[in-house]
Structure 1
């Protein structure tokens, strides 16, 4: 009984007290990820089912990333100006339509155009989703909220990876149809259950609302851009698991269902372990956690150079997944704390842009390195990037934390405070301040 009470207490500590809007967003994430079939098997679909070369497949995946780069930038602007909810719904409905179009596309140019537009719509949702999460979850609860959402992402991913492997052996078109259906279901949940969370007229230094030249402000924020650059390096390594890893496993004679089962271990480990990560890293230096995560991820991908059988590939996936589990919550809370309230959509968009740039270049660079220098060079290069990232996190961490502390301080402009009319009888008392004005 004591063990049961302990589990119940842990469960309440992990999930209790979060707002209803968070849980609707969480449910939408789970539904969407349960059907995220296409991105997992697109490289295999293009090379084995459609007969495209590795270079052509890399080009299509790169266009997906290029479309995502445009989408996440536009999505960030729309999130701040138009609103979180309309941006999310439009992005999901557009992505569902383009998912079906890509499934029925046959010529290379049509497949390339479909991938470009799908990337645009699918990734336009990211800034709105991230901003809405920050809007509704108090700062004290964000670490566990982001961990719970990441848990849902990977529960869906683990299930989708296994199911997609078997669905692909029946008919590849089924992957696109199911993915489109779950994307529409997510849009429906948001439409029915989620209210707009954007705050109008957020007070800030110099005025209210979204400032003019907001994007220029971000582009001169060297602390934040340094963090984004490190995420770009991480994403270049991480995304090899959906571009070059399936090709490497295929050359070793392993089937699509084997790849699906191996890569599903990523989601399975996160599902069983991610909810314990917040307690493990709480109170620890985020720069140290991110440095350790970079080393672990680099080691995992580096060992892929020596893999040739399913169990060895599975081992490498388990290792780099541990690094992913450590980095994700710290990344999410840092983005939230480094984003001014009135520009959350844009800051989320710029961070997501690093993923899209990686999505556009990772398959091309991976294919080029693999073609020119070989499979071993590709994976050992990933290990080297992990070491560079670890050192950079240790060096840049203190500046990030100072910026986060500075942004937590509320800024109130006297010019924006409206004083109600004072009755004449009390005018003399009202004009004598009860407390001295604090120095600024």
Structure 2
């Protein structure tokens, strides 16, 4: 019982004190990931069901990533100019329509074109989600909030991966339609439950204008752009779980259901460990966390070269999943700390673009390497990239800490602005500062 009581207390402390708007955003994330299908099974759909080569599958996935590159910056600008809520509604509605269409097109050129549209629509919402979360959650609660959101992503992913693996053996089209329906449910939740959280000039007279932070401002921010570059390397590694791994397993004779079970370990492990690990890392040195997680991710995928059975593959998934659990909230929190309040959309858009570019490059890279040299070379390359990212984080964080740029979470003015935004988001409902369930 003492252990059970401690566990219950830990869960209560983790979920308490967050505003009600956060939990609606969290629910939208969960519903969206419960219906995830395209990103996970696109490679298998094209190679096994449609009979295309790994290179073509990589090209389509790359176009999906290119769409994300375009919409990451566009979604960031929309988030700052139109607001978080309108951007989410436009992005999620467009995603539902394009995903449904993808299930019906058959021409290779049409598949590639619609995949581009899906990537563009689905990635446009990410800057808005991250910016809204930073708006409505207190600075000291952000690592916890980002971890809980990441936990929701992977809870949905764990369930959808196992279910979608079996759905794919019956009908890939059904998977596309299920994802479209679930995404539309997310749009309805946003419309009905989430108020706008965009900071306004009325919050504080000292607040800068919305247009005072441009994309040029972001590009000139050296420390932040260094984080963007390093996050690209890390994302390049993690993308292999959805790109390189299913293709390699398919060529080795594994079925879609077996890949679904293997990759579901990633989601299940995050669901089980994300909350306790977050409590462990919340007040620890972010430089060490980023270095260790980057190296662990690279070598976790490298171990796949020695995996000849489903059980061993699942063990390698456990290794790089631990890196993901540590890296995701730490890196996201660092991005928020380096972003000005009235430029959160553009900064988050640039950060999201690093993952979108990785989604563009990873399929081309993995398809080329697997076709020309074999999967073993791809896993070795992951180790090299992980090591490079770890060294880069060590150098960057030492310079940033020396410059004092991450010593404080927010300036006093930014904290006051965030408080005002939370008050606007809450309206007359004074219970939104309480935690708990919906």
Question: Structure 2 length as normaliser, TM-score?
Answer: 0.91
Could you say which residue in structure 1 is the equivalent of 2:120?
Answer: 120
CA distance, structure 1, for counterparts of residue 295 and residue 21 of structure 2 = 36
Partner in structure 2 of residue 423 of structure 1: none
Check conservation: 1:298, 1:383, Cα contact below 8 A: yes
TM-score (norm 1): 0.91
Question: Conserved in 1, the CA contact under 8 Å of 2:265 and 2:314?
Answer: yes
Give the match for residue 50 of structure 1: 50
Partner-residue secondary structure (3-state), 1:51:
coil
Aligned residue in 1 for 2:263: 263
Q: Distance in 1 between matches of 2:339 and 2:279?
A: 24
Asked which structure has the greater RCO (Cα within 8 Å, sep 6+), the reply is: 2
Quote the offset at 1:5 in angstroms: 3.1
CA contact 2:54–2:371 (8 Å) conserved in 1: no
Deviation at 1:2, TM superposition (A): 3.5
More displaced stretch, 284-293 vs 396-405: 396-405
Q: How far, CA to CA, are the matches of 1:5 and 1:204 in structure 2?
A: 44
Distance, in Å, in 1 between the alignment partners of 2:410 and 2:270 is 31
Give the corresponding residue for 1:154: 154
**In 2, Cα distance between equivalents of 1:15 and 1:86:** 27
| Number of aligned positions between the proteins | 412
Q: Which digits, 9 at most, give the CA deviation of each residue in 1:188-226, with x for residues without a partner?
A: 111101000001127899973223461111000010000
Q: Residues 257, 386 of structure 1: CA spacing in aligned structure 2 closer, same or farther, 3 A cutoff? A: same
Given that 1:205 and 1:411 are in contact with CA atoms closer than 8 Å, whether structure 2 keeps it comes out as no
Shift of 1:308: 2.0
Instruction: Give the superposition deviation at 1:303.
Output: 0.7
Shift of 1:299: 1.3
2 CA distance for matches of 1:27 and 1:342? 26
Q: CA deviation at 1:261?
A: 0.2
**Given that residues 55 and 371 in structure 2 are in contact (C-alpha distance below 8 angstroms), is that contact kept between their aligned partners in structure 1?**
no
Point out where structure 1 has 5 or more consecutive residues left out of the alignment. Answer: 413-440
Q: CA deviation at 1:366?
A: 1.2
1:410 deviates by: 3.5
Structure 1 outlier segments of 4+, above 4 Å: 202-207
**1:403 corresponding residue in structure 2:** 405
- Structure 1 residues 254-263 or 236-245, which shifts more? 236-245
Look up the match of 1:383.
Answer: 383
Question: Where does the alignment leave 5 or more consecutive residues of structure 2 unmatched?
Answer: 415-438
CA distance, structure 2, for counterparts of residue 236 and residue 273 of structure 1: 23
Q: What CA deviation, in whole Å up to 9, does each residue of 1:23-45 have, x standing for no partner?
A: 00011111110010121110000
Give the RMSD, CA atoms, in angstroms.
Answer: 1.7
Report which of the two structures shows the higher radius of gyration computed on alpha carbons: 1
Residues 133-182 of structure 1: CA distance to partner in whole angstroms, max 9, x if unpaired?
A: 00000011111111111111000000010000010111110110100011
Q: C-alpha distance in 1, partners of 2:159/2:351? A: 27
In 2, Cα distance between the equivalents of 1:169 and 1:250? 13
Rounded Cα–Cα distance in structure 2 between residues aligned with 1:205 and 1:289: 38
